[in-house]
Amino acid sequence: MHRNILVEQIRKKKTYLCVGLDTDISKIPPHLKNSSNAIFEFNKAIIDATKDYCVSYKINTAFYEAMGAKGWDAMAQTVQYIPGTHFKIADAKRGDIGNTSSQYAKAFFETLQFDAVTIAPYMGEDSVRPFLEYENKWGIVLGLTSNKGANDFEMLSLQNSQERLYEKVLTEVSKWGNVNNLMFVTGATQASELENIRKIIPDHFLLVPGVGFQGGSLQEVSRYGLNGDCGLLVNASRAIIYAGKDEHFTTEATAIAKQYQAEMASYLK
């Protein structure tokens, strides 16, 4: 998906919500668990319930890979079912030597038809480059993550420099691509750093997980992260997809997604 189309959808729908389809079969409503294709049936219902209030879906591939071939089939069906108007993210956190990354890129961009893949950048440019060679496809590079372990490495100061490791990553990786094929993951629980991040990469889109169950503030993320083109995709997963526990789960999912959309619309004014 070209950047202009994504921005157009954000402005049209007045939302920058990304719904995370981190589907755990042990957590879906009981009446679906006996279905031969339970994961896809659940995802399909969530997509139908939320598509009017979001512009993107993010599939955390680990939940599907854990199920083997059946999980990959459910993931492929889900990607095909997501409307073409919505930005499709494979949250796969890939990144390896060049020829291996080329195969990962082929898997997610050609075979599965995602628009973007999350990438771990710590093996350097040749591990990221293959994802940036596809037209209208995106690499979403881990910048400053929302987990507690982010402090172990990402926040470390570099020797003989006041620059922190995550800042070095943002600065260097931004040179490998451009605002039309590179996004960065910046966790909502790190909202206090967003003002600084915007000084380094003012124009890039940011994928922001951590709102909802992880405690991130949508207001703070929006205050410091929005730019002229919006520049944000804020992900909510469990808060939406597991809002309901019974056969009426889609009603609750719709309600929560609508709440996010309404709040986002107020920040886009």
Pairwise CA distance, residues 83 & 123, whole Å: 34
3-state class of 256 per DSSP? helix
Continuous segment of H or E residues that includes residue 182: strand 182-186
Question: Which own/partner contact pairs does 28-36 have at CB distance under 8 Å and 24+ positions apart?
Answer: 29/244, 29/245, 29/246, 29/247, 29/249, 30/246, 31/246, 31/247
Pairwise CA distance, residues 248 & 260, whole Å: 20
Pairwise CA distance, residues 53 & 36, whole Å: 29
CA angle 19, 101, 233 (to 5 degrees): 20
The DSSP code for 259 is H
Catalytically active residues, by annotation: 93
65: which 2 tokens?
């890979």
Pairwise CA distance, residues 85 & 94, whole Å: 25
